[in-house]
Structure 1
Amino acid sequence: MSGLLGFEHVGMTCGDLDRTIAFYCGLLGLTLALRKQNERGEMAFLDTGSGMLEIACPAAEIARSRDVPPHEAGMRHLTFAFESIDAIFAKLEAAGVELIEPPRPAYFIEMVKRVAFVRDPDGTIVELVERADSRG
């Protein structure tokens, strides 16, 4: 049988694995599931509770993430749902995280009520959302 079981993970690259784990686990609440050396550097899997981030940290220096222009294919942002984006946004602001946009009403209210945007330590855009009541 070939039925879909669910979302597994998305792969990312970072420049400093300790800093990335501190952001995603320490600030956002993900759980470190695995951290392991390999021939190219180090890897970690961070569990969101409904899928994982696979983080590669190569032994070589990497460039900061760049935003994907609207006319180019690619991942534009990662999104995490929270009970209160006001609370998580304030926590991130106090921690000195790079802020993009404070909490505001969402455009697609069928899916999410409110959104906010920040950047992770490597410049990847992270969207914070409160889900629409119909989604639970």
Structure 2
Amino acid sequence: MLRGFEHVGMTSGNLDRTIAFYCDLLGLRLALRKPAAKGELAFLDAGGGMLEIFAPASAIDRSRDVPPAEAGMRHLTFAFDDVDAMIGKLEAAGVEVVERPRDAYNTEMMRRVAFVRDPDGIIVELIERAEGR
């Protein structure tokens, strides 16, 4: 029996910077941080699931976008009460905005959307949920 969504695993080039982005700016909560084999590990709680972040001790390349014709994770999505306000906060912090807030295409699921990049180049979608969700 399925109990719920647990976590997504990610790799970071700088754990401090990644925690600052997801916790200080987006509002996730640091649940665990500890040394791991060949690096460091953190779990960030998003309320309905977590991000597992592994930061290797050696340097890594920046994330690349997954082309539409290639399997892979294209973005992470977090829901907020006010996407426009969040984009203002992220812009003030120097976060790269990929797409400014706009009305959503999938209006059955969301009202407004915007896209930014995290410190490692991973695309993060910010949404306002549709009425009744």
Same fold by TM-score greater than 0.5: yes
Shift of 1:12: 0.1
Q: Which amino acid aligns with 2:43?
A: F
Shift of 1:134: 2.0
Q: Which amino acid aligns with 1:42?
A: E
Tell me the equivalent position of 2:123. 125
Give the TM-score normalised by structure 1: 0.97
Give the TM-score normalised by structure 2: 0.99
Identify the match of residue 40 of structure 1 among 29, 38, 41: 38
Q: Which amino acid aligns with 1:53?
A: L
Structure 1 portions without partners, runs of 5+: none
Tell me the equivalent position of 2:111. 113
Give the Cα separation in 1 of the matches to 2:109 and 2:36: 39
Tell me the equivalent position of 1:12. 10
The superposition leaves residues 9-67 of structure 1 with CA deviations (integer Å, 9 ceiling, x where unpaired) of 00000000000000000000000000000121000000001000000000111000000
Q: Structure 1: which 4+ aligned runs deviate by more than 3 Å?
A: none
Give the Cα separation in 1 of the matches to 2:5 and 2:91: 30
**Once the two structures are aligned, what percentage of the paired residues are identical?**
72
Tell me the equivalent position of 1:101. 99
Q: Which amino acid aligns with 1:48?
A: A
How many residue pairs end up in the alignment? Answer: 133
Root-mean-square deviation over aligned CA pairs: 0.4
